[in-house]
């Protein structure tokens, strides 16, 4: 079975990680409820890369920032489209959705949909 993955790299102020985690837990619960196969939100820990560019360099983070690496796994691109439609509909109907603000600068976030190349 080949899967499809939505991936995110998000520079975030270190003092906002706790707030982000609350949001990520809600995201996890919601995506899984609507059919995602797996959901991961990870905060940078061991990110020194002696032979390549590392995430902080790639994201040009400031001293007070860290990096979130996140991904959601779906059965296929079509499945992703179905699940995301349900998730976005649910989020848009939540109280306070119109005034919700992210605990990071969304313009610095990188996002993409990925075909699985190798999978165990």
Per-residue pLDDT tens for 80-112?
999 999 999 998 888 877 777 889 998 999 999
Per-residue pLDDT tens for 17-61?
999 999 999 999 999 999 999 999 999 998 877 888 888 888 889
Radius of gyration of the chain (CA): 15
What pLDDT shows up at residue 30? 96
Q: For residues 70 and 20, give the distance between their C-alpha atoms in angstroms, rounded to a whole number.
A: 12
């Amino acid at each position: 079975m080949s899967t499809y993955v939505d991936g995110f790299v998000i520079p975030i102020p270190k003092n906002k990680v706790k707030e982000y985690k609350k949001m990520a837990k809600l995201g996890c619960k919601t995506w899984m409820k609507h059919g995602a196969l797996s959901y991961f939100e990870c905060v940078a820990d061991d990110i020194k890369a002696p032979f390549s560019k590392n995430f902080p360099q790639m994201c040009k983070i400031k001293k007070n920032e860290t990096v979130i690496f996140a991904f959601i796994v779906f059965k296929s691109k079509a499945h992703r489209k179905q699940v995301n439609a349900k998730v976005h509909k649910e989020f848009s109907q939540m109280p306070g959705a119109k005034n919700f603000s992210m605990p990071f600068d969304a313009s610095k976030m990188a996002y993409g949909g990925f075909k699985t190349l190798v999978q165990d």
